[in-house]
Amino acid sequence: MSKVRVNLANPSELCEIPGIRKSQAEAIVRFRAEHGPIKDANQLDEILGGQPLEPGARDRLDFEPAAMTAPESPGA
């Protein structure tokens, strides 16, 4: 099972996280563009409206900060 780099992933890649819908993926991208990298799963929960991620989803997340987070990764 591969990890999803939350601070670099485009909306399609974010939708690979169990339970993340397209509208939520777009909210993540918007948040990154306006506020910078997402720090951790707790902050991600807040961005998603306080809804906890599906069981096992947190194991797929990588929050390694990007030097410069773009709204979408190259080639998106």
pLDDT above 90: residue 20: yes
The domain limits of the chain are 4-50
Q: Residue 55 burial by CB count (10 A; 0-12/13-18/19+): exposed, middle or buried?
A: exposed
Q: What is the mean pLDDT of the chain?
A: 86
CA distance 37 to 70: 9
pLDDT at residue 61 above 70? yes
pLDDT of residue 52: 79
pLDDT at 67 over 70: no
Predicted confidence at residue 66, as pLDDT, reads 60
pLDDT for 75 equals: 42
Euclidean distance between CA atoms 69 and 55, whole angstroms: 27
4: β partners: 61
